Amino acid sequence: MHQIEVSSNQGKQQKFEALLPQIVSLVAGESDLIANLSNICAALKQGCGYFWVGFYMVKGEQLVLGPFQGPVACTRIAKGKGVCGAAWVKKEVILVPDVHQFPGHIACNSESRSEIVLPVVKDGQVIMVLDVDSNKPDDFDQHDKWLLEKIVNMLSDN
């Protein structure tokens, strides 16, 4: 049985440090990418309470919606567009405290207020991005960045 244990009486970093090995072991015995990305999204939704968490997969010149948890979302994003497209082109993590201040932000959901996007790089190429949205402004900090970077690094190393 696969289950995520989430403690409610710990600080954010402690909570994330307890969550990370659970996510690592969740995907460790499975080689199917879609299965693993799906479970990562579910674990992040359950463990961190994110409003929307999901992957966009690089397909040609577009990002195409992959496994996610949360409200329905845009299916395709052109290269360089939105926060996701920018993270792809720049090959870097983009943290947006207020999406209304990010030129070209794509509002898949009108409730989204802050966002963090991390590219997954394999053999020098971005193969997908991990996108996390919050319905609260300025909702992501260094603890979120730490946890999410560990996850994209794990996917990059595969």
Interface with ligand SME by CB under 6 A: which residues?
A: 52, 73-74, 77, 82-84, 105-106, 108, 112, 115, 131, 133
CB nearer ligand SME, residue 4 or residue 106: 106
Q: By three-state DSSP, how is residue 137 classified?
A: coil
Query: In whole angstroms, how large is the CA radius of gyration of the chain?
Result: 15
CB nearer ligand SME, residue 46 or residue 109: 109
CA–CA separation, 11 and 9 (whole Å)? 7
Q: How far is the CB of 25 from ligand SME (least distance, A)?
A: 27
CB nearer ligand SME, residue 77 or residue 155: 77
Q: How far is the CB of 81 from ligand SME (least distance, A)?
A: 7
Q: How far is the CB of 157 from ligand SME (least distance, A)?
A: 25
Q: Whose CB is nearest to ligand SME?
A: 82
C-alpha neighbours within 13 Å on the C-beta side of residue 98: 2
What are the backbone dihedrals phi and psi of residue 103, each rounded to the nearest 5 degrees, phi first? -60, 125
Q: By three-state DSSP, how is residue 103 classified?
A: coil
Q: How far is the CB of 49 from ligand SME (least distance, A)?
A: 17
Write b or e for each residue in 101-126: b if 16 or more Cβ atoms lie within 10 A of its Cβ, otherwise e: ebeebbebeeebbbbbbbbbbeeeeb
CB nearer ligand SME, residue 36 or residue 112: 112
